[in-house]
Chains A and B, each alone.
Chain A
Amino acid sequence: KAGVTQTPRYLIKTRGQQVTLSCSPISGHRSVSWYQQTPGQGLQFLFEYFSETQRNKGNFPGRFSGRQFSNSRSEMNVSTLELGDSALYLCASSFGPTGGNQPQHFGDGTRLSIL
């Protein structure tokens, strides 16, 4: 069974640009969550989608947005990139809504570097 797939694995951008990251969940999983991992802050929750609806959002500026398609694939977009956006962006999927003991399964992440 294929795991969570994130593309691209590595990305280099410059300040002011925008970027789109992609996540394909495990087949049959309908919930997709996004996290930002930085050395100082650990994993921070960005947002979660279930059946194309965003159900929760973390404390990130509006430059961070996402969407989910009918096949459960998800994209995350960051506009007007800043140096501080350099991080590992992780996507996680679960079968049902994130809750109870539904473990989230993570992809290997996209390493975004801003120059």
Chain B
Amino acid sequence: DQQVKQNSPSLSVQEGRISILNCDYTNSMFDYFLWYKKYPAEGPTFLISISSIKDKNEDGRFTVFLNKSAKHLSLHIVPSQPGDSAVYFCAGGSNYKLTFGKGTLLTVNP
């Protein structure tokens, strides 16, 4: 039972354009969501989070949108930079536990 799904295994965008990473979830009990970025041979790095009572949270170039009725969240990166190339994981949290999606590999081309 995959409670958090990232349906796009990979995404390629041009430098300077917007990157949109999507995530769907099935567990209505999640009360917060997080996005992590992971480079090869390193642990995931926290990017941005959003509470389930909010629909948007912004931090610099990163904005997360939450649509609870659709059980969908997305991460927008504007403008995209080559250093943003990494695997991005979304995660839902509840009851002292994070449930992760399988990740989306973002490649930002110069």
Contacts and interface: CB of A to CB of B under 8 A. Distances in A.
Interface of A: 4, 31, 33, 35, 41-45, 48, 50, 55-56, 58, 90, 92, 97-101, 103-109
A33 B43 contact: no
A108 B93 contact: no
Contact of B43 (A55, A90, A101): A90
B46 A56 contact: no
Interface of B: 31-32, 34, 36, 41-46, 49-51, 89, 91, 93-103
A109 B32 CA distance: 24
B96 A56 contact: yes
A103 B43 CA distance: 14
Contact of B32 (A41, A56, A100): A100
B99 to A, nearest CB: 7
B100 A90 contact: no
Nearest to A35: B100
Contacts of B34: 101, 103-104
B103 A98 contact: no
A41 B43 contact: no
A98 B46 contact: no
